[in-house]
Structure formats: structure tokens, C-alpha cells
């Protein structure tokens, strides 16, 4: 059996989530390989050592440059803040490693293009961490669309709301424009853009508004939480390439929402609704139902659905289970040589939509999103 | 006790709803007047006679022109299709009658301006039928905002979805551009615009998209339901005058939704969610709750809330009860001489937002909504 | 058209609810008769006069004995506290009037037997006010059972919870054993027993427990709300005559529940769930659904369902609408001469179940519920 | 750091769940020990080998007797069918191992007593696998009760419903009386009994009914799914030692319910509701809330609550996360030498309640549940 050794760069929240997922994934289902959690890398070598022990990694390192070139490493998994993604990914790809990169792919489209191009040249598996789309219910909704069971896409509505903006220190480097980081449209908006494109196809143009509590016109001065903050809330509408309509909202100053991802869409034969906080089910209503049995059906995920692994999905799945599904797909793509989904090209396209929303908010009016380049022949 | 006699023009769905409400309103709570359901008017005198008997009116007529001038009529209630609103309202106002007019106020802003001006000149009570805003839960949310308990408005999200577009005959005159009528943005979008303005204040500008199944770019030709149809779906974003963000979606081709009105809003001290289909409650989450008791509270309406009449609101209220509240306010405004809410000026402003959305959809990009005129001195 | 004149005895909460319903019922749908709200009766003549004016009755009276014998009265509607039901009903039945009686039919089985027998002898329409069962969703569930679409009844679970026990004055005469009144098992438990029997057939035996805050063994002395109180909470299990299992709970010291009626049942081909607070829909799950579409469907009530009157049921119905349906059935039974449902015999059987639960709670162990007597030949 | 080596006996569904949990637990939070998944045991040595590789165990064995005596084993984890629990547990306890045993503790009370006594004699940590009670929301509800914030327990209502009875082969050995196994009251009823006792204290007596599709009086012969089947459905009421009332229902022929565990309880200061399928939150309503803010609050779990490990609990937890919490507690109890909860004595008491329910169903009427023996001095 193939042996796959992983180097994880970055031991924050995402590093911990990925550590769990690498342990869960092969137990939950055959991935066709033995996976070794070989080395955890953190800028600080002491932190790396502590985290490696705690999160179940064989060894640790304070130097990602050295690690990504090691012969005993097959996979480089990037969990750093986004401003470091490009450099690490390019080095890992140059060394021929398979790369898993957390979202957003980068902080700018220019960086993301470079990363996408390098991945295509390298011919390795390069996947981006849009984890929520791997929910079995979302994957099944896509399957129903592919089968034509739901009809033509008509309207997509999504929101991603959190209350963290009230509690977190709004002046930490990550939330500030001057010290880097990505705003809320890029941070969580990217997830619902990815899900929308996964289900409805590419977004062609957007018009949006964004707000931050550090500028005039939103929070009164007496209530402001931050100075120099990146965008904290946004709303945008979208036109998909196929003509469907989209409506999106994000806000990190939304009390009561720990982590609420809601979407609903209408198609010509059915409508669908999904709530991440009830991820073991989704709701569908078919237009052609019996006249006295109209209304949404709550479909609970079971072994009949994608990744209905060992019934757990039916008994109650969480963030860790969905994360494990994400890595099962990544590992199987490496083993089988098929293209990973979502890949860096998808990561780039989402980045282009995010940038278009922010441009639109800055200049006013509609902004077109570039079409995807044709996938080069032979790419995977 | 004051005696108020009503003439109802139009015996369709809304005529029936108003007939019920006039019977319910005075039983449910003292309105300070004896109300007589004097005459029901329909263009066809025979239909009028049948409907009058069925819906509990003392008499009937086939001629609204004659009726609105009668001395024994105090109130003219207009339930006709929107293209007739202007003419009937102007005649009734000229005759000094109090006027209740169903929404949308008119099919164009020009007509609506004329009606608003006539109402202000007449000095009578002129109310528009945005019935949903009278839900005790919505009125209480407004009260909490007025008290400052929820903080500064930040983001408003609303959708109004129906599935009627799949079932109704899409080629009837009302749904068609060539034979008049108002599209779905005006028909149901006006309700969520009114609610948004009731809670967050005036909308200053919008950018939107609208779609109809009779044109290219949305439904494939093989699936088209209609020819020459008015807009059936729309999405728009809005900037409120106070800087808050708005996000709106309507669709009458949304399977599974009989009549779904959802809204949620974030303010700097709390967030609120409301679902018309659970109208006896709403949900609020306060930012400053105890750290181990964070999350939305479902507040059920009871006698402590506005219009918590005789506990029925707590036991389970429906469309008819909320409609009765609407008419209690109308009747009390007449008796007491206070200004009715929402009046024709509000109806006009909503109409201006609707027109701005449709203009934006037609031309692309942001469209400003006119500010309200100052209320003339002495107006009520 | 037939003329039906009503005398209403008792102007409390229920008197008001019935007043509304008599106004709503004929507007909402043809009942085949002209209904006159002729006279409102209250023990106090002055109160009666005020209430008659407020609730829309033509006249008032302080003497029910005189009224129930008047020739110009066709219907006697009894909304008094339960200890007066028997005397008024017997007099009205003896005078040949149709009788509508609020639940519980009486405070004892002996009284209820007398009333049922008198109704059968009189050959009039005698209906009892189990209003909730008239919800279109519940009536449709019964229809599905009758059609065999749901299979054999297996298990019924119901609860009726209120928080009123914390707020009301627990020492008022009605809540006290020494001054009459009915306890909570009879007051609200009777509704879920009626619904259970409507759907699953007769209950054959029960075993239960009941509690009051005025006795030892439940609330500690320092927290007691009442002295000499009737039962405030109960749980019981039941065996239906057809072998199905039942589980029931009531509590009026249940914080957060304004008026919560929940039931669910399993049958051999489907399961059903209903929540009064979402009365415009119910949920059904069929055993034989497609393997990847398993789960509950939320069926929203529309014009395809029983009493889907003029679409309002689909737009949002409340207590008043369901009450109007109840009286439409009552009035139509009078006009057509068919048997009313639920009649006094059903009221008696529910009373027998209530008494069996309380006996079981007092003595411990199972108590059989008497079988229904065969309906006498010629009864309606 | 302490080294703890585990032998897992039984590689079915539960063996897989435990395999995941041992990997998750130490990553998710410090348990004070290094945990080794040393050996997986299955009756069939080949199966054991395959499973060990798949589920991440260092080695495998076909002989549990040999394994439980090995010096390099600290923990024996029993995931076999219940008829083998006693023998394996007694051997492991005799060898001085810490024991984790899946529920139900045994198939009879006699066996369970033997196991509890052996555990107490051995002085090791002996925990039973009632995993659901470890949900952070349930643990927090218990904390609120302990603090007195919710008042005196009044009424507990719980149901556990599954639809598996329609799909599974009802004639497999496990579901049949003649070949051993435990019925549905013991299988899933034990979970809600454990939760009830965890929150409300010991159950003192019960009265119940049970049904199986293989006997007369429930399913008609034409619809029967099984022959010789154990109980598949049951309802029971309970009196707690503190006087509170309990109501319980289980059914494995309940369409639409993949795995539904619902409970609600009323206490004198608050009511609580919990739904396993929304396990990241629970609902509480306090009696003394402001009059215009009455109703249930949905409290979402966060880092302020028990086991709010690394925020995942807030982002979305599943079966695997709650299972990991269970094993974190087990491992920490071993490291610290404190008593585990729930231990074998609790497992025994739940078994006694199950047996009392089934006795009651067989003989009719109330059956007392034995009081717990006093914990012997020095026990842990």
C-alpha cells in the first residue's frame, strides 16, 4: 500500500483541525494509502515541538523551507495566515509535493494566479480547503442538479453570519488593514461563493457593498469596535454565467450566530435549503409533487448518500467528520491520480469573485468576474 | 358613539380578507366606533350582490363612482387591481372620504405621487395595506429599536418567496406586461421594503436584478411558463439613509414556499429574526448576554406586547387576526384624528424603491431613491 | 335560506372566541344558513349588556333559563365554567334546541352520561368544543389514516404544556378542589385525548400519575404556589382498543410554553408529527420512500386539504380561523341533519378517559375505560 | 507522562466508533497520558487483523482471554454484543484492568450486579458507554440544576425513535428472543433512562407497556416484520425518588427518525429542551424573565461550557466529538484516580429500570426499582 507522509505548516486552529482529520480520515474509510503525520512546522521551533506532541505528529520543525524539500515528505499542508500561502505553496509545488492549502488561496488575485499556474505546471494534486462543500448533503444536492432532477438553476441565496466580531480583539494584526490579513468577505464570504459556484456554476458579475466599524457611515463613533479594520460585513448580488440570480450577505457583527451558514436555491423543478448547523439533513421541495403533499422534505443523510461512511453521517456528523471527508478526497485524488475538487483554479476563481465584490464596493456598480481559463491539456 | 360606514370596492381575495377584518376588528377590541359594512361594490352588479350577501355587507352596487360620493359613506376601501387605485382614490379623497388602499399604492410613481398629494390635501386618514408589518412581533421589534435596546441598525436581510408562479395561469392579464398589473418586485417585494423601512428607516439607493420566465437568459425556452410576463424574481441590495446595508430577494418560482416572509437584522446591541409562518414569536439575541447563555431567544407574543388582544395573539394568530389589527389602527386613527401608519406617503416611498429596483435592473448599477418630502404643516 | 338564531351563555374568554367565530364562519364559507347572533347571556344582566354590544350580539339577558326556552332561539351555546354545563344543556335539549357545549363536557362522568343520553333522546345536533381537532392538518391526517395510506396505528405520543400556572392566581375558585372546577388533566388533557381518539380510535385503559403543587412530594413547601389546588401536571400511558400504545403528558408549570400542543404518531407505513404553533403544516414520513429521499416532509395546507377555505388557511391561520371551521361544521350539521363530530358521546368518552387517569393516579395501576355504548338506532 | 495501552474487544460499529474516539481524544485536549491503541480483538483472528489495520491498532488477536491478562494492557474496552459483556468484564477486572463497557451493561440485572460488584472490589475505573449524556449541552443543563438555577425537578419527558426496524433484517440473531440480544427498551431506552437519572436523580418506580411485531395485538399478521422478536416499542411512566414525574417512549418502527433523541423537562424555575440532532445547543426558559421577553432561549455551546474544546464544539460537533469527550473523561479518571461517571453502578441501576419496565409490561401495573446500595467506603 502506498505510503503518504504529511508536513503540516501552521499549528493554529486550522492546524489542529487538520491534525484531527488526518487521524480520522483513514479510520473512517479506506483511502488507499497509509498516512503518516510526519512533521509539524511552526515558525517557532519550541511551539512546533509542543504542538507536534499534542496533535499527534511524529516530529517537528521550525523551518518550513527545509521541510518542504525533504524526500520523505509527500504532502505539504498549509495552515498559515493567508499572506504566507503563496511563498510556501510555490516552494512546495516546485519541490513536486502535493499541496493542500487553506482558504482563501491568497490575499490578492495576482498571488492566486501565480499559485494556480504553478500547481498546473507541477501536475500534482493541489486542493483548497473549502471544507463545508464536502458536507454529504451539499454533495448530494449537486448530484441531484447534475442528474437534472432539480431543473434549471434560477436563484441562489446565501448568508454566513458570525458574532465573533463583538468578542474578538478587533485590533489584532489579522483584522487590520495595515498589518495584512483578509477581511470578512474573503474569510467567510469565500465559503458561500465556493458553494454557490459548486452548485450553480461560475459567477459572471457582482455588485456589492462592504462595511467596517472603523469608518464613518455605519457604526456611530461611540460604538466603534476597531480602528483600521478590514471589511466586517458585506452584501452583494450576483449574476451567474447561466443567467441565474444570486444574493449574498456576510456579517461578523451578527449576535446569536456562532457560525451560521445558510443557503437556499430555486430551480425550475425544485427548491433546496441547507443549514450548516443541521448538516445531517437538507430540505428539498419538488414542483411536481402530489397537490395534497406539497412542501419541503427534510432528507436525512444515510448510507445511500455520498460519503455516508459507516452510518456516522446519519447518527450525527460534525466539523471533524466533514473535515475528514475533505481529506479522504484529497488522499484518494493523490492515490488515483484524478483531479482534486476544489483545486487551486477554483480557489483562484473564488478569489476573483471576492476581489470583484470589494472593487464594486469601492467604486460602485457592477464588476465583471474573469472567466476561467481553459484547463491546459493533460492537467489533472 | 361614532358611526363609521364602509364602502368596499373589489370583491376578490382582498375584498374577502377585508370583509372578515371589519367583522373581527370591533369584536376583538374597542375601536371607539360602530362600524357598518354598508356597501360592497364590484364592476358587475350581479357579482356584487352575491358577494355582499356572502361576505356580510348590507347592500351592493355596480357603480363605484356613485358610491364614493354618497353621504352615508365614511370610508372607501379599495381592493381592486392596482391599475384602478388612482382613479378611485382620487374620487374618494375629493369627496372627503377616509381611504384604505391595498398595496402597491399604484403601478407607477407618478400615479402614487398624485394619490399622496391628494390625501395630504384632503386631510383625511389614508392608509395603505401593508398588513404584515402589523404583526405584534414586528411592532414590538420596532419598539425595541425606538427604545435604543437593540443599538444601531447595521444589516437587514429579507426574502419573500412563493410557489404560485408554478401553479397559476401565467398568461392571465394580471401577470402580463401588455395588459397591466404589477410584477413580483412590486407585488410582494413592496411588503419587505415596507417592513425594512419601518424598522431601519428610509432606503437611499438600490442595485438590483430582475428576471421573468418569458425572456432569454433565465429559464430555457423548453421550460418557459409564460409569454410577455412581468418580473417574477428579483434580488437587490440597498443602502439605507443611516448607512445600514440591506439584502433582498423575491421569487414566485420558489417551490415549497406557500407564502414565506423571512427577515433578520443585525444591530450593534442585538440581532433579530422573524418568520411570518411563526408569527406569534420572534427571535432576538443580545450582544451583552451572559457568556454561557448566548444565543437567540424565541419571544412568544403575549398580553405584554402591542395588540396582545384578549390573549388570542398568544394562543395562535393568523392572517385574519393580523388583518384585524390593521383595521383597528385605521379605525382608531379616524376616530382620534391621529396620522395613520403606514400612510400614502409611505406607500409612495415604497413605490419609489420598487421603481428604483426595476430601473436598476433595466439599466445596470445603482439608482438613488428620492428622499421623502417634508410633511406639510398641519398634515395628519 | 334557513335562519339560525344563537343564544350564547357565558361571556368569558370562550364566549368571546365563539362570538368571533359566529361572525367569521359564514363569511369564510357557505354554511347553508343565515346566522343571527341573537342574545348573549351572563348571570349578571349588566355585564351581559356590555358584552353583547362589544361582541356583536343583538340583545342580552341575565337569565339563561328563560332564554333557552324562547321560540326564536335555535342554538344554545354553553361557554360557562364546567360545573354549570349539565343543567343548562339538559334544559336546552329538553326545549329541543341544538346545543354546542365547551369542553370538558362536565366535571364528572355521571353528569356527562346524563348529558349524552339527553342529547341522543332529543335528536338534535349536540357538539362539544374540542376545537384543535378541526385544524385542517389534523383532519387531513385522519383522512390519510382512513384511506389506509399510513397503515396500522402503532404508537401515539402527545403533550400539552402551558406556563400559566406560574402567572395565574392559583388560589382562585376555579383552580381549587373545594370550590369546583376541573384540573389540568381534564382541562387540557381532554384535548389531546380527543385528538388521540380521533386519529387512533378509542382508548381502552390507562395508567397515570398526577401532581399538584399543594401537596407533599412534588414542589418543596417553600416553592408551593397554591393550597387546595386541583391537579396541575400529569403523565399517563394508554392502550388503545386496537392495541396501539399511547404516551401523554400535561403540565401547567412548564416555562416557555404559552400554549404548546405537540403530537406524533407512528403507523406501519408512515409517521406523522404536528405542532399547534405551526398549524398550517404537518410532517409525514413514509416508510416506502426512495432510499435517498427518506425523512419527514412538511406538508403545507392549501386548497387541496379539508377546509382550505379561500386560501387563508395557506397564508396563515390562527385560533380564530380554526374556531370558525368548528362552527361551520356545527352549522352545516344542523342544516343537513347529519351527525356532528365530536358529539356528546365523544365528550363523554373523553371524560371517562380523564376520570380513569385520575383514578389510576389515586389508586395506582391500570384502570379500564368503559367501551362506548352502541349508538341507538335512528340517532344522528 | 503516564502510558495507557488499550485492548479493544469487538470490531463492529461500536469498535469503529471507539477506535476513532481514542485517536481524537488526546488531540482534542490534554488527557494527561499517552494513549496506545495496542490490540484489537475479534473472535475471528483474520477479521481482527484486517480491522486492526483499518482502524489504526498496533496489533490484533483472536483470543480475548489471553489479551485481558497481558501486562502491557492497561485498559480493556468491551464492544461485543451484550451477552458477552459479563464474562469479559469479570476477567478483565480480575486482572486489574480498567474497563470501559458498552451499554447495556448486561442483558440481565443478575449479570449486571456481578459486574458492578467486581468493579467495586477491583478498585479500578469501570465506565459504561452512555455516550449521549456527555453532550456539552446536557452536562451544562446538569450544572445549572446543581447550581439551583433551574429549581426543583417537576416533570421529565423523553423519546428515542428510530426507523431501523423497517429496514434491518428483523430475523437476525440479535433481534430475536431465542438467540439472545437485548430489546429496544434496553438498547436505546437505556440511554434516555440514564440521561433522566443524570439530570433528575434515581427513578423509584415505573409502569410500562412494550410491543413486538411478532405477537398478536399490534401489527396485523399481514404486516408483521419478524418472528420471535424482542420488544421493538415501549412507553412507560416513572416516579422519581424526589417525586418528579417521568414520561418515556421508544420505537424502532418510527419512520423518518434516523436517530432521534428528544427530551424536555420542567423545573420550578425553568424548563429545558434538548434534541440530539441539534446537539450544539439546547433551549432554556426561565420563569422569572421580563414579562415582554418570555420564551425559550437557544443557548449555543461555546468555550464557556463544559468540554468546549478548541471551539469545535461551537462550530459543529458530531457523534465522534461527543464520543471523544466520553473517552477524555474515562482517561482522565484513570490518570487522576477519581471515580468515573457513569460507572458500573449507574449501568446496573439503568438495567434495573429497564427490567422493571419490561416486568411491568409483562405483569401489568407499577414495579418498584431497587434503591442503589450505598457505595462501599473507599470505593472510587
The average confidence (pLDDT) of chain A is 92
- Tell me the Ramachandran region of residue C140: left when phi exceeds 0, alpha when psi lies from -120 to 50, beta otherwise: alpha
Give B300-325 pLDDT, tens digit per residue: 888 888 876 655 555 788 888 899 99
Interchain contact, A312 vs D318, CB within 8 Å:
yes
Write down the pLDDT at residue D314.
56
Q: What kind of architecture, by CATH, is found in domain D132-315+338-368?
A: 2-Layer Sandwich (3.30)
The per-residue pLDDT string of chain D (380 residues; one tens digit each, 9 = 90 and over) reads 789 999 999 988 899 999 999 999 988 888 999 999 999 999 999 999 999 999 999 999 999 999 999 999 999 999 999 989 999 999 999 999 999 999 999 989 999 999 999 999 999 999 999 999 999 999 999 999 999 999 999 999 999 999 988 876 766 666 777 776 779 999 999 999 999 999 999 999 999 999 998 888 898 888 887 788 889 999 999 999 999 999 999 999 999 999 999 999 999 999 999 999 999 999 999 999 999 999 999 999 888 888 766 555 457 888 888 999 999 999 999 999 888 899 999 999 999 999 999 999 999 999 999 998 766 555 44
Measured at the alpha carbon of residue C123, what is the angle toward residues C122 and C124, in degrees to the nearest 5?
90
- Indicate the pLDDT class of residue B1, thresholds 50, 70 and 90: confident
For chain A, say whether B259 makes contact (Cβ under 8 Å).
no
Chains adjacent to D (≥3 CB pairs closer than 8 angstroms):
A, B, C
Under 8 Å CB pairs connecting chains A and C tally to 48
Whether the pLDDT of residue A310 is over 70: the answer is: no
Which candidate from C293, C294, C297 shows the least CB-CB separation from A295?
C297
Q: What is B132-316+324-368's CATH superfamily?
A: Dihydrodipicolinate Reductase; domain 2 (3.30.360.10)
Q: Which of residues 139-158 of D touch C (CB under 8 A)?
A: 151-152, 154-155, 157
Closest partner CB to A320 (pick from D259, D314, D318): D318
CB-CB neighbors (< 8 A) of C279 in chain B: 316
What pLDDT score does C309 carry?
A: 63
In this prediction, residue C317 carries a pLDDT of 84
Chain C partners within 8 Å of B312 (Cβ): 17, 318-320
At residue D368, φ and ψ (nearest 5 deg) are -75, 145
The confidence score (pLDDT) of residue B365 equals 96
Per-residue pLDDT of chain C (380 residues; tens, 9 = 90+): 789 999 999 988 899 999 999 999 988 888 999 999 999 999 999 999 999 999 999 999 999 999 999 999 999 999 999 989 999 999 999 999 999 999 999 989 999 999 999 999 999 999 999 999 999 999 999 999 999 999 999 999 999 999 988 877 766 666 777 776 779 999 999 999 999 999 999 999 999 999 998 888 898 888 887 788 889 999 999 999 999 999 999 999 999 999 999 999 999 999 999 999 999 999 999 999 999 999 999 999 888 888 766 555 457 888 888 999 999 999 999 999 888 899 999 999 999 999 999 999 999 999 999 998 766 554 44
Query: Cell digits for C113?
Result: 352520561
Q: How far is B133 from chain C (nearest CA, A)?
A: 15
Cα C376 to the center of its chain, rounded Å: 24
- pLDDT score for D173: 65
- By CA distance, what is B305's nearest residue in D? D292
Q: Which residue of D has its CA nearest to B291?
A: D304
For D306, which residue in chain B has the nearest alpha carbon?
B292
Q: Do C297 and A293 touch (CB under 8 A)?
A: yes
Confidence of residue A380 (pLDDT cuts 50, 70, 90): very low
Residues of C in contact with B316 (CB under 8 A): 259, 276-277, 279, 318-319, 322
Residue B223: which of A152, A257, A270 has the nearest Cβ?
A: A152
According to DSSP, the β-strands at D75-78 and D59-61 are: unpaired
Confidence bin at B170 (pLDDT 50/70/90):
low
SS3 of D1-62: the string is: CEEEEEEEECCCHHHHHHHHHHHHHHHHCCCCEEEEEEEEECCCHHHHHHHHHHHCCCEEEC
Which residues 284-303 on chain A approach chain C with CB closer than 8 angstroms?
Answer: 284, 291-300, 302
State the alpha helices, DSSP H only, in D109-178. 109-122, 136-146, 164-167
Name the average pLDDT for chain D. 92
CATH code, A132-309+341-368: 3.30.360.10
ipTM of the complex, rounded to two decimals:
0.95
Domain ranges for chain C, please list them: 2-128, 132-314+340-368
What pLDDT does residue D380 have? 45
Residues of chain A found within 8 Å of residue C287, distances taken between Cβ atoms: none
Residues 306-335 of C with CB under 8 A from D: none
Does C83 lie at the interface with D, CB-CB under 8 angstroms? no
For A56, left (φ over 0), alpha (ψ -120 to 50), or beta?
A: left
Instruction: Give the closest residue to B8 by CA, choosing from B74, B93, B96.
Output: B74
Distance of CA B72 to the CA centre of its chain: 28
- Residue A177: predicted pLDDT: 75
Which residues on B lie below 8 Å from D297 (Cβ)? Answer: 293, 295-298
Q: What local confidence, expressed as pLDDT, does residue C29 receive?
A: 85
Contact D316 A20 (CB under 8 A): no
Q: What is the pLDDT of residue B18?
A: 95
Size of interface A-D (CB pairs under 8 A): 105
**pLDDT score recorded for residue D330:** 97
Q: Classify B243 in phi/psi space as left (phi over 0), alpha (psi -120 to 50) or beta.
A: left
Which three cell numbers mark B281?
414569536
Backbone phi and psi for residue A13, each to the nearest 5 degrees, phi listed first:
-55, -45
Residue in A266, A297, A356, A361 to test binding to B, most B beta-carbons within 10 Å: A266
Which pLDDT value is given to residue C311? 54
| D2-128 maps to CATH 3.40.50.720 | yes
Provide the 3-class DSSP secondary structure of residue B31: coil
The reported pLDDT for the residue numbered D51 is 95
- A305 touching chain C per CB within 8 A: yes
pLDDT (0 to 100) of residue B198: 98
Q: Which among D27, D256, D278 has CB closest to A19? A: D27
Contacts of D312 in chain A (CB under 8 A): 17, 318-320
CB proximity list for B355: less than 8 A, separation 6 or greater: B108, B109
For residue C277, the chain B residue with the least C-alpha distance is: B316
CATH number of C132-314+340-368: 3.30.360.10
Chain D partners within 8 Å of C258 (Cβ): 294-295
Q: Chain A to chain B, count of Cβ pairs less than 8 Å apart? A: 161
pLDDT of residue A173: 65
> Taking Cα atoms as reference points, which of C136, C245, C247 lies closest to residue C189?
C247
Q: For position C312, what pLDDT does the model report?
A: 56
Cβ(C237)–Cβ(C122) below 8 Å: no
Cross-chain residue pair D20–A27, CB shorter than 8 Å: yes
Distance from CA of D244 to the nearest CA of B (A): 26
Min CA distance, B25 vs chain C (Å)?
9
Q: How far is D322 from chain A (nearest CA, A)?
A: 10
Asked if the Cβ–Cβ distance from C294 to A281 is below 8 Å, we say no
* Separation CA D302–CA C301 (nearest Å): 38
CB D58 within 8 A of CB D48: no
Closest CA to C45 of C62, C28, C57, C58: C62
Gyration radius from chain C CA atoms: 21
Q: Residue C380's pLDDT is what?
A: 44
Across the range A119-126, mean pLDDT stands at 96
Tell me the shortest Cα–Cα distance from C316 to chain B, in angstroms: 5
Amino acid at each position: 500500500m502506498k505510503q503518504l507522509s504529511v508536513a503540516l505548516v501552521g499549528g493554529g486552529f486550522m492546524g489542529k483541525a487538520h491534525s484531527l482529520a488526518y487521524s480520522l480520515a483513514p479510520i473512517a474509510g479506506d483511502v488507499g494509502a497509509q498516512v503518516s503525520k510526519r512533521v509539524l512546522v511552526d515558525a517557532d521551533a519550541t511551539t512546533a515541538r509542543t504542538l507536534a506532541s499534542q496533535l499527534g505528529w511524529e516530529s517537528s520543525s521550525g523551518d518550513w523551507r527545509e521541510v518542504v524539500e525533504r524526500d520523505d515528505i509527500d504532502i505539504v499542508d498549509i495552515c498559515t495566515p493567508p499572506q504566507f500561502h503563496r511563498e510556501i505553496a510555490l516552494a512546495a509545488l516546485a519541490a513536486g509535493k502535493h499541496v493542500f492549502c487553506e482558504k482563501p488561496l491568497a490575499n490578492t488575485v495576482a498571488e492566486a494566479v501565480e499559485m494556480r499556474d504553478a500547481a498546473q505546471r507541477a501536475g500534482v494534486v493541489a486542493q483548497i480547503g473549502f471544507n463545508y462543500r464536502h458536507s454529504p448533503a451539499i454533495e448530494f444536492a449537486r448530484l441531484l442538479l447534475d442528474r437534472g432532477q432539480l431543473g434549471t438553476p434560477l436563484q441562489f441565496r446565501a448568508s454566513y453570519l458570525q458574532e465573533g466580531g463583538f468578542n474578538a480583539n478587533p485590533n489584532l494584526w489579522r483584522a487590520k488593514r495595515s498589518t495584512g490579513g483578509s477581511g470578512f468577505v474573503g474569510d467567510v464570504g469565500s465559503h458561500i461563493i465556493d458553494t454557490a459556484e459548486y452548485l450553480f456554476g461560475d459567477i459572471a458579475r457582482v455588485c456589492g457593498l462592504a462595511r467596517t466599524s472603523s469608518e464613518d457611515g455605519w457604526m456611530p463613533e461611540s460604538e466603534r469596535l476597531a480602528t483600521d479594520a478590514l471589511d466586517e460585513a458585506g452584501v452583494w448580488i450576483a449574476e451567474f454565467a447561466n443567467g441565474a440570480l444570486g444574493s449574498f450577505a456576510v456579517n461578523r457583527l451578527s449576535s446569536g450566530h456562532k457560525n451560521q451558514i445558510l443557503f437556499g436555491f430555486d430551480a425550475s423543478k425544485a427548491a433546496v435549503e441547507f443549514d450548516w448547523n443541521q448538516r445531517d439533513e437538507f430540505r428539498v421541495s419538488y414542483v411536481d409533487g402530489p397537490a395534497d403533499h406539497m412542501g419541503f422534505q427534510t432528507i436525512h443523510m444515510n448510507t445511500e448518500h455520498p460519503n455516508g461512511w459507516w452510518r456516522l453521517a446519519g447518527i450525527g456528523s460534525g466539523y471533524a467528520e466533514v473535515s475528514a471527508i475533505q481529506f479522504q478526497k484529497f488522499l484518494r485524488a493523490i492515490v488515483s491520480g484524478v483531479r482534486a475538487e476544489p483545486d487551486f483554479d477554483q480557489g483562484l476563481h473564488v478569489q476573483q469573485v471576492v476581489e470583484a465584490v470589494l472593487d464594486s464596493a469601492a467604486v460602485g456598480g457592477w464588476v465583471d468576474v474573469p472567466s476561467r481559463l481553459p484547463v491546459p491539456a493533460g492537467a489533472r
